[in-house]
Amino acid sequence: MAKCSVYTFLFILLFTGINSSAQSYQKTDLGVKISIKGRELEMQVYSPSIIRVIKSPARSSLNKESLTVIKKPGKTTFSVQQQGDVLYLKTNQLNVNLNMNSGAIIYYSHSGDQLLKEKEEGVMFTPFNDAGNQTYKVSQAFQLDHDESIYGLGQQQGGKMVQRNLSLNMVQGNTDDYIPFFQSVKGYGIYWDNYSPTQFVDNKETTSFTSEVGESIDYYFMYGGNADGVIACMRDLSGQAPMFPLWTYGFWQSKERYKSQDELVDVIKQYRKLKVPIDGIIQDWQYWGNNYLWNAMEFLNADFPNPQKMVNDVHNLNAHMIISIWNSFGPHTKQYRELDKINALFNFTTWPQSGSEKWPPNRDYPSGVRVYDPYNPEARNIYWNYLSKMHSLGLDGWWMDSSEPDHLDFKPSDLDNKTYLGSFRKVRNAFPLMTVGGVYTHQRRVDSSKRVFILTRSAFAGQQRYGANTWSGDVTASWKALRNQISAGLNFSLTGIPYWNSDIGGFFLSRYPRKLEDPEYRELYVRWLQFGTFCPMMRSHGADAPREIYQFGQKGSKYYDAIEKFIHLRYRLLPYIYSASWEVTANQSSMMRALMMDFAKDKQALDINDQFMFGRSLLVSPVTEAMYIKPGTGGQGSMQEEDFSSVKSKETYLPAGTDWYDFWTGEKLSGGNKVSKQTPLDMIPLYVKAGSIIPVGPEVQFAEEKKWDDLEIRVYPGANGEFVLYEDEKDNYNYEKGVYATITFHWDDKKKTLIIGDRAGAFPGMLASRKFNIVIINTDKGVGENTASESDKVITYTGKKVAFKF
């Protein structure tokens, strides 16, 4: 007995020693598991380029279903080897070293370049009571190179391009969309898979994510080699971006708000009468009536007596209409009653705060509006059941306002609200992902003839898979706000979500009490619209004053003509823009491109926050300061006046490694230099990368007015170039079945030869024969937005390969 007990004791001691040692690990089908310092650590190989890292307190059970990540780990060849206290995990893309004593991980490229290292002792688990559930506050720290540039983290209004030396309290807001993902100029990215309020901190010592709630630390390391590669990894994890209809890339007009259906339809009529192109119009809130009927998803307002006629009228004018819907419901709505029965309404203060529309809100008469629980699948079903009645009217899309959602009079206890997936605190930041996803998923199930289009105020990681274009919220108009939109949109795009826009002109005009009578605001609006011309969505919107083109004068006036010029330019570029959108869907590209995406080796380009590439060819440099105003002549305190007595200029940096062309004049310029460009009111600096091929479409009044049977093909010599022209049926999902066509243009600069390849694919209505008007750009052909008076060569193309030497 005694002898057996001794052996048993020795066996237990030996077994315990082996399992508590930092030198033991378990190889799994997906990677490795190991226990270090009383914590469980697992590395899962999702692909040769993507590693998931999970860390949790010992003996904890983890059964997490990610809200963002939809990819399942594939069968990836990898090796695991231990040498001393270091565990080496290798794929054909990555080398990952794990210190088996400290638990810190270092990531290397396959060639041996160090990419990122976890900070020693950089892990924290702090016990936390989350609305009665015992869990943890979790933190992971990394150590970046001192001069390493990182980007992403969603959309902020601080004007920073490089996201270093800052602290962010990541909780979704009206004008700030937080996404716990950053990527480095070194070609890697980190996605922190947590949805609770999170603190991101970067300083000289550390870069860290700290989240209020988490059963574990859970993050994904991805290596793409460059920004496009990192984005491809992120979309591989969280879903690809579907295509939008062609018409969505035209011009949009809206305001807060059209007060009758006649007013809305009349806006389209006015644009058609003036022969100014337009494709989309939006009906904002209150078409449902009073605030107690908030978001009823019915036209209960007496000024909208025949909604079907309104939609038909818009369609008959060759335009499209989307409508405002919210994520909250008034107490007199049918949705409220159904959602309340299943406990799918939250108890915290949201907008609107009063049953009266008057401002300020009268708190004696609370609206009773409550936010719904989109984490609950039954609640999402109820939401769509009512929205489907709007869908049956033929509306072309949804404007999902307050999708963060609005959370007023915040109290920490508000986050104790129970959702279908636990406390609101636990899943707070994923609210927009869930509510937008609910609408997209339901519509896709019942309608494949019309592509889902959602305009939404907020976003979270993975939202690109749900057919949504995010706008930057209710920003107050100012020159600083305009400039800040550029870096906000670029960093948002660098998280893998490619579709973004802003309210052209800014939402609130509180800084401009004279509204449209203020010459500074008129100039600001024109400059904002010029910026919007080169965003994925071109949409004029705002409160306090209407923004239709005819509010800014008439044809022949400076402001009107400048606005009209850029709307026409947008439509001329539709073949280029639609082809760029195909690159987003098919090849994980981005439409708005920070300069670091295409010029990562040019250190001067890494932190520029007022320039960007639109597609891979156009460098856009918006004007972001007032140029044509002066103090009033009526004495001290008089209002500013316009002053066009002299033409001002803006300086733009042209990245190195390529030559550039002035879009307006055709002048060829060398990269790696700053250049000055005169910027009268109807001009912004716009440059084209040498080697570019840009298709230019006809002048139209709406996107589908004319076929692309006579396109102008502009070739910018100086480097080899390639462009893929994409065409399909414009508004259904047949492209997912291969029903589309592409034509590849290749420019051989040495041979001065343009090769137009065989057309690939087909679709109903495809042009069997067409003309291409080839224009080789030089200083004498600065054709700008207008068709060249004489083409270098007119080609009849029937789908077969042709080559022409110039």
Q: What is the mean pLDDT of residues 39-52?
A: 97
Catalytic: 474? Answer: yes
Separation in Å, CA 337 to CA 293, 328, 333, 380:
12, 12, 7, 14
Q: In this predicted model, which residue has the larger pLDDT, 137 or 16?
A: 137
Does 7 score more than 70 pLDDT? Answer: no
Cβ atoms 31, 89 nearer than 8 A? yes
Does 18 score more than 50 pLDDT? Answer: no
CA distance 424 to 650: 48
CA distance 617 to 624: 22
Given this model, what pLDDT does residue 363 score? 87
CA distance 424 to 414: 8
Does 22 score more than 70 pLDDT? Answer: no
Task: Give this prediction's pTM.
Answer: 0.95
Does 475 score more than 80 pLDDT? Answer: yes
Q: Which domains does the chain have, with CATH numbers?
A: 24-186+188-223 (2.60.40.1760), 247-466 (3.20.20.80)
Does 626 score more than 90 pLDDT? Answer: yes
Does 638 score more than 50 pLDDT? Answer: yes
Q: Which two tokens stand for residue 569?
A: 């330019």
Given this model, what pLDDT does residue 58 score? 76
Does 493 score more than 80 pLDDT? Answer: yes
Q: Which two tokens stand for residue 548?
A: 């239709």
Catalytic: 682? Answer: no
User: At residue 562, what are phi and psi to the nearest 5 degrees?
Assistant: -65, -45
- CA 784 distance to own-chain centroid: 28
Catalytic: which of 404, 544, 583, 662? 404
Angle CA 632–633–635, to nearest 5: 90
Q: Which pLDDT tens digit goes with each residue over 145-181? A: 999 999 999 999 999 999 999 999 999 999 999 999 9
pLDDT > 70: what percent of the chain?
95
Burial of residue 654 (number of CB atoms within 10 Å: 0-12, 13-18, 19+):
buried
Q: What is the mean pLDDT of residues 331-359?
A: 95
Catalytic: 401? Answer: yes
Q: What is the mean pLDDT of residues 557-576?
A: 98
Given this model, what pLDDT does residue 16 score? 38
Does 787 score more than 70 pLDDT? Answer: no
Secondary structure class of 480 (helix, strand, coil): helix
Strands 649-654 and 673-678, sheet pairing? antiparallel
Does 414 score more than 50 pLDDT? Answer: yes
CA distance 294 to 195: 28
Q: What is the mean pLDDT of residues 255-267?
A: 97
DSSP 4-23: HHHHHHHHHHHHHHHHHSTT
Angle CA 376–381–382, to nearest 5: 100
Report the amino acid identity of residue 266: D
HSE, side-chain direction, 13 A CA sphere, residue 302:
0
Burial of residue 463 (number of CB atoms within 10 Å: 0-12, 13-18, 19+):
buried
Given this model, what pLDDT does residue 17 score? 37
DSSP E strand boundaries for 389-527? 397-400, 418-419, 422-423, 454-456, 468-471, 500-501
Given this model, what pLDDT does residue 781 score? 57
Given this model, what pLDDT does residue 19 score? 39
- Cross-strand partners of 688: 618, 661
Catalytic: which of 228, 401, 503, 712? 401
Cβ atoms 525, 505 nearer than 8 A? yes
Binned at pLDDT 50, 70 and 90, residue 23 comes out as low
Cβ atoms 68, 460 nearer than 8 A? yes
Separation in Å, CA 352 to CA 66, 319, 359, 624:
32, 31, 11, 34
Binned at pLDDT 50, 70 and 90, residue 362 comes out as confident
- Cross-strand partners of 744: 724
| Least confident window among 110-124, 347-361, 392-406 | 347-361
Given this model, what pLDDT does residue 10 score? 36
Cβ atoms 171, 199 nearer than 8 A? no
- Cross-strand partners of 689: 660
Catalytic: which of 340, 474, 641, 785? 474
CA distance 606 to 597: 9
DSSP E strand boundaries for 499-577? 500-501, 538-540
N- to C-terminal Cα separation, the chain: 99
